Chains A and B, each alone.
Chain A
């Protein structure tokens, strides 16, 4: 006899657990309609009945699940229009899946067979908790996106948007971003400052990282501590110090001053990523190149550079995003002529709130997804190049 003793569950068990889920949903729907208690009772009764009946019809799972989804969709449509229909369909889909998931004991299939029911319950509770934390992590970013298409100047969902009425949506905040001179100036300033700062930090940083990964470096720890410090020192302190010092030497309020400040802030990221890439670098390659008559410069550009390039580029991307995203230092070191995109957003958030900010935010999220993908691909390529992991 097989060790795996997964058996279909009894109708009573399915009905009881589904009733619990039904009660939870019923509570929400009920309070929305005026009475939470009635909602709980109706939801629990409805799902308990469904669970009891359906657990006996396991072999016809697919059509039954479609049926439940369609049923709740129609019920929603009749009771509350399109948005309620969507909520209903989602709930119906969930209910169908949940009941059959319980009834066929699929939930135990990939768990160790010796687990007690309590442990199984904890296993899934833990997953639900983790899911909630993931929702917490991602919701704020997702909420911004639909709101940026709001036809009204509100920071919240209008009834039109919830009814999926096309009149509730518009591109006007995007149009505002692309036509408003304040925003366009800010965008251009960001585009002018960030690449220069990145270039500086990548240039100096890569050289220094190569120096730091040599076998014998005196005061390595102290030097590393100094080079990493711009990342550790709170931005407000860096900003204050730079403001005082740069105004002494006449760099405050200049493009050059902002570029220097941002380059300093980006350096730790370049150092960290490039030294990490150099950890796996095989020194015999440079010796081999030298052996074959290549000078140090040729060796660097033809042998070492191609191998550490992924690390350099991802360090550069970090430096770029640091500068592109930075607001505290530029707020103090820059003047109105160096107003960057984050600065403009900051002013917008603090003073008059315009939903154009949400359009900008959506564009920035799209950019960061792009950057994230690039960095991830580079990391994998770098690991493959160094033969560290095959995946």
Chain B
């Protein structure tokens, strides 16, 4: 270094201070490394992490109640769930409008199924109500239709009334409210021009009717792809009209828009009738609507998020006074979780027992022999999981190889063949075999590094074989056991295929239940909650594995 720079900061060749120049080079290096990693990171985030996050989200998500019955949920807020009485007429009126739209979109059965997880019987309640809901207010609908020489049976007149005629002032509010509600309900977009915008005059006079008609118009145009003006309006429009006209016939007084005469005639027609009674009508369809317990369930599950799935996953439920245990006959998940844990522990234990001698002999034989024997470990490791599982099915069946051999040897009488499959024994044997290589390989790589002279030194100092092994060799091989055990346990706890095929009913794991809820019972929320619990357990173990072994040190083959 020349002495001219001794006083100032050390400079790089281009004159910038060396410190800054180095920092820039380092930054460039980091950036380049990150650029190389970025595509894969993005790929994994999108194809793998996002799905996991989605599952976590689904385990608490519960918007189906509020999207299917938005108005009912709103009205239900004032209802006291401890009163022991079903809610009043107002709630049932909202239920009518909600139920009608939901039934048209065929979404009411989904809600019924969802609530049925929490309270048995609700499913059929929703199904029957969805079928019969358009009968409510039948007399009023007929009266309006028949009034003024059947003027309101004409769909074109309805369209004209509701738009207020060509060029009339319009009101977008009901339309956007309707779009919002329907797209929430059906999970599809209801945007775009539908050829209908409610008139502002009519929407002030008859807001409920306008809203009902707008919902109908949106559904007709978007979901059914029909022209609004050519279709008969839903019964809800008639019922809303009847209700509004009965409540205040005077509201039509200043109205001079299209169809004013027809509306007035309709007002006269319904004036003589009793107001529509929604509550008795629903009770008529299904008396269970009078059961306050059903309403309580709807109210409890009306928030957008719920811990209900998680409670269900640990055999609890939401009761009147907070959280309570499920009935005895529905408690299955705690049993399943403990069974999964215990069986995984047994499998890990038997893998240690079987794997340790093999790893020891592989590490202590001459390299050539060890390599040959290693093939016997690696071949199962590389063989398809399905092949090994089918092999175990072949071996363990009642008419399988093991039973045949035992019978042939006369050790087991022909009529009392051993039951080794479709129970826990079958699962444990098959999974021990399948996971054994995952135990042997980490143990082997640790044992290879143990210096054999330590054992000889111990023996020459007077230790017996057992003492030398237990006090000198074994402690050094513990990291291998730890690494293998965590690996095997992690793999075992989430196994699905093998328990499904050889496990029967007694030998299944929590994964099989998750798969059942996804594909058969369609209770996705519960599946997600069970999966989340399992994931947390596995991630804890993964973290432990990282601390003990380090993920960088995972080796294959």
Using CB atoms and an 8 Å cutoff, list the residues of chain A in contact with chain B. Answer: 28, 31-34, 36, 119, 122, 126-127, 129-130, 133-134, 136-141, 143-144, 147, 154-157, 200, 204-205, 207-208, 210-212, 214-218, 221, 223-230, 232-246, 248, 260-261, 263-264, 267, 269, 272-273, 275-276, 314, 318, 321, 324-325, 327-328, 332, 342, 345-346, 349-350, 353, 357-358, 361, 364-365, 368-369, 371-372, 375-376, 379, 391
Contact = CB atoms under 8 A, between A and B. Distances in A.
Contacts, number: 288
Interface stretch (B32-40, B196-204, B250-258): B32-40
B41 A244 contact: no
B37 A212 contact: yes
Given A234-B493, A365-B387, A137 B54 contact: no
Contacts of B30: 216-218
A372 to B, nearest CB: 5
Contact of A237 (B52, B376, B379, B383): B52
Interface residues of B, number: 94
6 contacts: A147-B394, A155-B394, A204-B39, A211-B32, A218-B34, A237-B538
Contacts of A227: 40-41, 44
B400 A134 contact: no
Given A237-B534, A243-B518, A264-B47, A208 B39 contact: yes
Interface string B162-180: 0000000000000000000
Give me the 7 closest cross-chain CB pairs, A-B, nearest first. Answer: A234-B494, A211-B36, A241-B51, A140-B391, A208-B40, A245-B51, A31-B410
Interface string B519-552: 1000010011001001100110010001000011
A358 to B, nearest CB: 7
A365 B86 CA distance: 66
Nearest to A246: B51
Interface string B14-43: 000000000000100110111111011101
A361 B51 CA distance: 32
Nearest to A314: B557
Nearest to A269: B556
B37 A237 contact: no
Contacts of B554: 228, 272
Given A129-B357, A240-B531, A342-B386, A155 B397 contact: yes
Interface stretch (B123-131, B226-234, B309-317, B401-409): B401-409
A180 B17 CA distance: 75
Interface in B398-450: 399-401, 404, 408-411, 433, 436-437
Contacts of B50: 245
A239 B518 CA distance: 10
B67 interface: no
Nearest to B50: A245
Interface of B: 26, 29-30, 32-37, 39-41, 43-45, 47-55, 58, 354, 357-358, 361, 367, 373, 375-380, 382-395, 397, 399-401, 404, 408-411, 433, 436-437, 465, 490-491, 493-497, 500-501, 511, 514-515, 518-519, 524, 527-528, 531, 534-535, 538-539, 542, 546, 551-552, 554-557
B556 A318 contact: yes
Contact of B48 (A126, A143, A229, A325): A229
B358 A349 contact: no
B379 A238 contact: no
Contacts of B404: 156-157
B400 A155 contact: yes
B112 to A, nearest CB: 21
Contacts of B379: 138, 141, 365, 368-369, 372
A216 B34 CA distance: 10
Given A211-B34, A215-B29, A365-B387, A236 B47 contact: no
B385 A260 contact: no
A280 to B, nearest CB: 14
Given A143-B395, A156-B400, A207-B40, A138 B408 contact: no
Given A240-B527, A269-B556, A122 B401 contact: no
Contact of B389 (A34, A208, A272, A349): A349
Nearest to A33: B410
Given A137-B377, A232-B538, A208 B37 contact: yes
Chain B interface, DSSP helix/strand/loop, else mixed: helix
A333 B41 CA distance: 21
A346 B367 CA distance: 39
Given A237-B55, A263-B47, 19 more contacts: A28-B409, A129-B357, A133-B354, A138-B380, A141-B391, A143-B401, A156-B404, A207-B37, A217-B37, A229-B48, A234-B494, A234-B496, A236-B531, A241-B52, A242-B51, A260-B47, A264-B44, A328-B497, A364-B383
Contacts of A345: 386-387, 390
Contacts of A28: 409
Given A264-B48, A267-B40, A379-B557, A240 B55 contact: yes
A236 B499 CA distance: 12
A236 B511 contact: yes
B18 to A, nearest CB: 18
B395 A31 contact: no
A332 B496 CA distance: 13
Contacts of B43: 200, 204, 263-264, 267
Contact of A205 (B40, B519, B534): B40
Chain A interface, DSSP helix/strand/loop, else mixed: helix
Contacts of A230: 44, 48
A236 B55 contact: no
Given A32-B410, A243-B518, A346-B497, A225 B394 contact: no
Contacts of A267: 40, 43-44
B518 A240 contact: yes
B444 to A, nearest CB: 13
A211 B411 CA distance: 61
Contacts of B26: 216
A372 B378 contact: yes
Contacts of A358: 390, 394
B51 A226 contact: no
Contact of A212 (B33, B376, B387): B33
Contacts of B401: 143, 156-157
Contacts of A350: 500-501
Given A141-B383, A143-B395, A375 B557 contact: yes
A126 B404 CA distance: 29
Contacts of A122: 465
Contacts of A215: 29
Contacts of A218: 30, 34
Contact of A156 (B49, B394, B436): B394
A134 B539 CA distance: 32
B380 to A, nearest CB: 5
Contacts of B552: 224, 275
Contact of A224 (B411, B436, B551): B551
B390 A244 contact: no
A327 B497 contact: yes
A248 B33 CA distance: 33
B397 A272 contact: no
Given A318-B556, A332-B518, A234 B538 contact: yes
A157 B401 CA distance: 7
Nearest to B403: A156
Contacts of B394: 140, 143-144, 147, 155-156, 358
A226 B397 CA distance: 41
Given A156-B399, A211-B33, A237-B535, A141 B387 contact: yes
